[in-house]
A and B are shown apart, each in its own frame.
Chain A
Amino acid sequence: MFYHVFKYRFKRLLREKTLLFWALLFPCILATLFNFAFSNFDEMMVFRTIRIGIVENKEHEIKYLLEDLEVEEREIFSVQYLSEEEAEEELLAGSISSYLVIDEKLKLVTDRSGYDQTITKHVLDNFLQASATINNLMQRDPQKANEILLEGINLDKEFVERDLQGDNNIMLVSFYSLIALGAIYGGFFGMKTINETEGNLSAYGIKHVIVPFHKIKIIFPSITVDVFVQSMAMILLVSYMLLLGIDFGDYLFFVYLVAVFGGVVGIVIGALIGLSSRLDAVKKDNILSAVGFMMAFLSGMVIVNVKHWVQSGAPWLAQINPANLITDSLYALYYYETMDRYYYNLITMGLITIVLLIVISVFVRRRQYDSV
């Protein structure tokens, strides 16, 4: 029975052009459009060296950071040491974008807002944040802090550079969100399977409920096909992005893994939406489209900062949004040295899948309905 249902479900999926378009081609088309849009964006975002002044009233390590900081082997700042009066004149003349007064406290002075000023302020904020982290570590675990210092690792600089590079590569988050969107749209497969196997949802469902065995014997091979085809779709999408030149870092296997696993989560979400009401299939398709898009939006697909706003403002939402977990996993793979955050996200997705499957199984176990 498994093979019989599997064979025909597979044949049907391969022949259903609309479904294949949304699952396979649509994300690839979006990726192409994103790539086209971001190729210009990337050119705009290429760093030019920012000219700043330093008024040094007191010795402070930040000046070394500003002198050394570079992204992709390009210096970020060109530093001039000036008196406060000179700095004011240079600022008025526009030959520097801002100047930093190093005193008991650090003070950034500028007379306008712009990209250079934003970057400078951003670097300063991150330096202060990283310094605070190191100081805390010194107090809590001096041995560990000493080890880090002895190894000569300049955490402040790494932190800031990585963060800046992150800004420079914000388009990556959009591509990650697109992978997440593709994964959630795997829900169309799961929804279709449920629609065809529940007696109260369609005439196909009635036919599948009156057979001489439990409908789970139809659902299981059908979902297996869904997972297979969706996995292929996700592998195709990631591979296509690689062809477009998107840099996923060094852990490609794990990129594919999270994309495929995300696709499974998508199928489960689609199945749950399919079971949740007796609306017709078209309306449910629209609901899934909207849910998928909203999840991807909240994970930064359209406006990258939305991801950060959600993470800081409503972290619980970020933790239960599978699209965010997918983008965050990919983000962690690219930017972090350890795999902890990646595995944490993967495990969270696993838990979400298990919870949803438990809810689904309660419905799917039904063999009779109040109405059909």
Chain B
Amino acid sequence: MNKVIEVENLTKRYGNLTALNKFSFSVKEGEIFGLLGPNGSGKTTAINSILGLLKINEGKIQIFGKQMQPDAYDIKKDIGVILQNVAVFDSLTVYENIDYFCGLYVANKETRKKLVNEAIKVVGLEKYKTFTPPKLSGGLLRRLNIACGIAHKPKLLFLDEPTVAVDPQSRNNILESIKKLNQQGTTIIYTTHYMEEVEFLCDRVLIIDHGKSVAEGTVEQLKKQATIDEKIEVEFDEIAENKIAKIKKLPNVKDVLVEPQKITIYFAKENQNMTKLLELLKKEDIKANAVNLQKPTLNDVFLEITGRELRD
């Protein structure tokens, strides 16, 4: 597959602060590429640099095989951007907003009409064409924001946390819309705080921290990088401290997270972790209300790599 984006040794400094430090990655045509990182890790700086908005200190950025420059209009015509901050005009209707932003790329009125209606259909706003943004819920507003960025059918689409503060129904709609766009051939760069979205959407993921790439691969590849194999949650009415200490002494236990009426035990890769735990519970007469076995999630991988919660 062709590389749609190729970033090499990208360095961006704000005064003494190095936001991106020799950051490199590439995105292949037709991929949904997840860019993950805690707040302040350099995700947005990376996207703004790739878009040519920021002056960079070092590095090389190529899009569609061409050098990205602020006046690379032949590249820009095939790019769509959906920002975290909703940027639609309150005094224009849903249809007019999409038509306005689409019109910055597509001059022909008839073609545009078709594209605008398609975008409205993709995000499911058919019933709201004549509504103005102040009359839309947060979720519908996000959908409108997306429609404004996709109507001109970009080949490359940047989505910066498009589902923040969105109700579950709208979130599902948005995720399905993104899948649909990707199936139609759009390459997508996706940043989010929600791991389940990354697992649902992304073909490949890059974890960025302190302006550097710290891990890259498919979701499965990243999970394999984790040293944790199993995570077992045990729910109680109450449990004594000395009993928790005994659980911590079980073989292969890497960490124990204690919460009110619940503990989460992280095991290293080994067989029979569950069996050993259940034996201990029986032996110590610990009354468990529920025992749940979970495989490590992307969030666990992320925690292990960056030492921080993604929602930090």
Chain A residues within 8 Å of B89, by CB = 8, 12, 204
Chain B residues within 8 Å of A11, by CB = 91-92, 96
The answer to whether B81 touches A367 (Cβ under 8 A) is no
The answer to whether B54 touches A368 (Cβ under 8 A) is yes
Tell me, in angstroms, the Cα distance from A213 to B71 when the chains sit together.
7
1/0 contact string of B75-96 vs chain A (CB within 8 Å)? 0110101010111010110001
Tell me, in angstroms, the Cα distance from A214 to B104 when the chains sit together.
11
A95 CB to nearest chain B CB (Å): 69
B131 within 8 A of A: no
The answer to whether A367 touches B73 (Cβ under 8 A) is no
B101 within 8 A of A: yes
Chain B residues within 8 Å of A208, by CB = 104
Tell me, in angstroms, the Cα distance from A104 to B166 when the chains sit together.
91
Tell me, in angstroms, the Cα distance from A12 to B89 when the chains sit together.
8
B194 within 8 A of A: no
Chain B residues within 8 Å of A15, by CB = 91-92
The answer to whether A368 touches B52 (Cβ under 8 A) is yes
Chain A residues within 8 Å of B71, by CB = 214, 367
The answer to whether A369 touches B91 (Cβ under 8 A) is no
B224 CB to nearest chain A CB (Å): 37
Tell me, in angstroms, the Cα distance from A1 to B107 when the chains sit together.
7
The answer to whether B87 touches A207 (Cβ under 8 A) is yes
The answer to whether B85 touches A203 (Cβ under 8 A) is yes
A16 within 8 A of B: yes
B64 within 8 A of A: no
The answer to whether A204 touches B87 (Cβ under 8 A) is yes
1/0 contact string of A94-137 vs chain B (CB within 8 Å)? 00000000000000000000000000000000000000000000
Chain B residues within 8 Å of A371, by CB = 14, 54
Chain B residues within 8 Å of A203, by CB = 83, 85-87
Chain B residues within 8 Å of A4, by CB = 100, 103-104, 107
The answer to whether B100 touches A8 (Cβ under 8 A) is yes
The answer to whether B74 touches A212 (Cβ under 8 A) is yes
The answer to whether B91 touches A210 (Cβ under 8 A) is no
The answer to whether B81 touches A210 (Cβ under 8 A) is yes
The answer to whether B76 touches A372 (Cβ under 8 A) is no
Residue of chain A at shortest CB distance from B101: A207
Residue of chain B at shortest CB distance from A8: B100
Residue of chain A at shortest CB distance from B97: A8
Known interface pairs A4-B103, A207-B83, A211-B76; 4 further A-B residue pairs with C-beta atoms within 8 A, sorted by A's residue number: A4-B107, A11-B96, A368-B53, A368-B54
A293 CB to nearest chain B CB (Å): 27
Q: Which 8 A-B pairs have the closest CB atoms?
A: A367-B70, A203-B87, A15-B91, A212-B77, A203-B85, A212-B73, A212-B76, A4-B103
Residue of chain A at shortest CB distance from B88: A204
Chain A residues within 8 Å of B105, by CB = 211-212
Chain A residues within 8 Å of B73, by CB = 212-213
A4 CB to nearest chain B CB (Å): 4
Chain B residues within 8 Å of A202, by CB = 87
Residue of chain B at shortest CB distance from A1: B107
Most A-side CB within 10 Å, residue of B53, B86, B107: B53
B48 within 8 A of A: yes
B contacts, CB < 8 Å to A: 14, 48, 51-55, 70-71, 73-74, 76-77, 79, 81, 83, 85-87, 89, 91-92, 96, 100-101, 103-105, 107, 148
Within 8 A of B (CB), among A1-26: 1, 4-5, 8, 11-12, 15-16
Other-chain contact of B51, A5, A16, A204, A210 (Cβ < 8 Å): A210
The answer to whether B76 touches A210 (Cβ under 8 A) is yes
Chain B residues within 8 Å of A370, by CB = 14, 54-55
A209 within 8 A of B: yes
CB contact under 8 A between A372 and B55, given known A8-B92, A207-B87 = no
A171 CB to nearest chain B CB (Å): 38
Within 8 A of B (CB), among A237-289: none
The answer to whether A369 touches B53 (Cβ under 8 A) is yes
Tell me, in angstroms, the Cα distance from A122 to B73 when the chains sit together.
69
A206 within 8 A of B: yes
The answer to whether A372 touches B53 (Cβ under 8 A) is yes
Chain A residues within 8 Å of B70, by CB = 367-368
A292 within 8 A of B: no
Tell me, in angstroms, the Cα distance from A211 to B71 when the chains sit together.
10
Chain A residues within 8 Å of B83, by CB = 203, 206-207
Tell me, in angstroms, the Cα distance from A368 to B50 when the chains sit together.
12
Chain B residues within 8 Å of A207, by CB = 81, 83, 87, 101, 148
A199 within 8 A of B: yes
The answer to whether B48 touches A372 (Cβ under 8 A) is yes
Other-chain contact of B104, A12, A206, A211, A372 (Cβ < 8 Å): A211
29 A–B contacts, CB within 8 A, in A order: A1-B104, A4-B103, A5-B104, A8-B89, A8-B100, A11-B91, A12-B91, A12-B92, A199-B53, A203-B83, A203-B85, A204-B87, A206-B48, A206-B51, A206-B87, A207-B87, A212-B73, A212-B74, A212-B76, A212-B77, A212-B104, A212-B105, A214-B71, A368-B54, A368-B55, A370-B14, A371-B14, A372-B48, A372-B53
